[in-house]
Amino acid sequence: MGCVPAELALRSRNGECDVELQRAASLFNPQLVEMVKGLNQEIGAHVFIAVNAYEMHMDFVTNPQDFGFVTSKIACCGQGPFNGVGLCTPLSNLCPNRDLYAFWDPFHPSEKANRIIVQQMMTGFDQYMHPMNFSTIMALDSRV
């Protein structure tokens, strides 16, 4: 949350993520995992799955080059600092290749970043998915 271009434009002078927003976001997922564990125990089956989108997101925010992005700080389409002000409109700055940007606009991941997130949901390990990824639960469900 604190690393999207909109927050960088609003709260950052040097491109650093907002510490308070990051702290709030990081507290959510451990609590979600515990809640999902409790619900699954109550039901007696792995019905609910927690997705740690924060960790997935932070992977390409902290290491954009590892995922083929040139930046995670600047949106492909926007205005102002980090292209993080306003909506994507015909008057916006537009990057030459959206696949090189982790963010499409001041708030939303690019299509390529969303594909990475979906791939992690499908096949990711418990760093991202708890108690299992979607491929595993679909395989188990197909046996029933």
pLDDT tens digits, one per residue of 77-114: 999 999 999 999 999 999 999 999 999 999 999 999 99
At 144 the pLDDT is 63
Band (2; pLDDT cuts 50, 70, 90): very high
Q: Is 29 helix (H, G, I), strand (E, B) or coil?
A: helix
Closest listed residue to residue 95, CA positions, set 3, 1, 5, 2: 5
pTM confidence score: 0.89
Task: Evaluate if residue 5 carries a pLDDT over 90.
Answer: yes
Task: Evaluate if residue 140 carries a pLDDT over 90.
Answer: no
For the chain, the domains span 5-143
- Torsion sign over Cα 1, 115, 66, 89: negative
Closest listed residue to residue 98, CA positions, set 82, 113, 81, 117: 113
Helices (H), the chain: 5-11, 19-43, 53-62, 111-123, 134-143
d(CA 62, CA 43): 38
Q: Which residue has the higher pLDDT, 143 or 89?
A: 89
Task: For 8-52, write each residue's pLDDT tens digit.
Answer: 999 998 899 999 999 998 899 899 999 999 999 999 988 899 999
Task: Evaluate if residue 64 carries a pLDDT over 80.
Answer: yes
Q: For the CA atoms of 14, 30, 51, 1, what is the dihedral angle to 10 degrees?
A: -20
Q: Can you tell me the mean pLDDT for 61-86? A: 96
At 44 the pLDDT is 92
